[in-house]
């Protein structure tokens, strides 16, 4: 499984755009990149997943360069409720191949949003 590296913490203010970058130099051809969000005293929840280029949903955007050795989660106009830990995961067979997945969660990035 590819190892991921992301900042331990980030601070922002309400209304700003936040970009969290994750490095995954050893990503394999079959690997997808997935981001999860975790609030205190809750389990993580899925935010977004991508394989290459750009993916956007109602919550965030995920930018993946051509070499796929890094990815950037972009949260537009954050609010206080976006304060959470964000995990970048790289894993095989998350959607396409089936057979389950063995995702490895690192320590994540603690995002703190202030007024």
Q: In the range 6-35, which residues lie near other proteins by CB under 8 A? A: none
Q: Which of 11, 105, 112, 114 binds other proteins (CB under 8 A)?
A: 105
State yes or no: residue 58 binds other proteins (CB under 8 A). no
Give the interface segment with other proteins, choosing from 18-26, 41-49, 61-69, 72-80 (CB under 8 A). Answer: 41-49
Q: What is the 3-state secondary structure (H, E, C) of the chain?
A: CCCCECCCEEEEECCCCEEEEEECCCCCCCEEEEEEEECCCCCCEEEEEECCEEEECCCCEEEECCCCCEEEEEECCCCHHHCEEEEEEEEECCCCCCCCCCCCCCCCEEEEEEC
Q: Which is nearer to other proteins, 99 or 115 (CB)?
A: 99
Cβ(76)–Cβ(16) below 8 Å = no
**How many positions of this chain bind other proteins (CB under 8 A)?**
24
Site string for other proteins, 84-103 (x = CB under 8 A): ---x-----xxx-xxxxxxx
Nearest distance in Å: CB 9, other proteins: 13
**Site of interaction with other proteins (CB under 8 A):** 36, 41-46, 49, 87, 93-95, 97-108
């Amino acid at each position: 499984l590819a190892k991921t590296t992301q900042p331990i913490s980030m601070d922002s203010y309400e209304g700003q755009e936040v970009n969290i970058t994750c490095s995954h130099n050893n990503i394999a051809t079959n690997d997808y990149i997935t981001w999860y969000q975790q609030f205190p005293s809750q389990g993580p929840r899925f935010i977004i997943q991508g394989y290459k280029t750009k993916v956007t949903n109602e919550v965030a955007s995920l930018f993946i360069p051509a070499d796929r050795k890094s990815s950037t989660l972009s949260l537009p106009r954050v609010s206080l409720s976006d304060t959470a830990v964000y995990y970048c995961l790289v894993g095989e067979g998350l959607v396409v191949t089936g057979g389950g997945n063995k995702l490895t969660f690192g320590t994540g990035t603690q995002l703190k949003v202030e007024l």
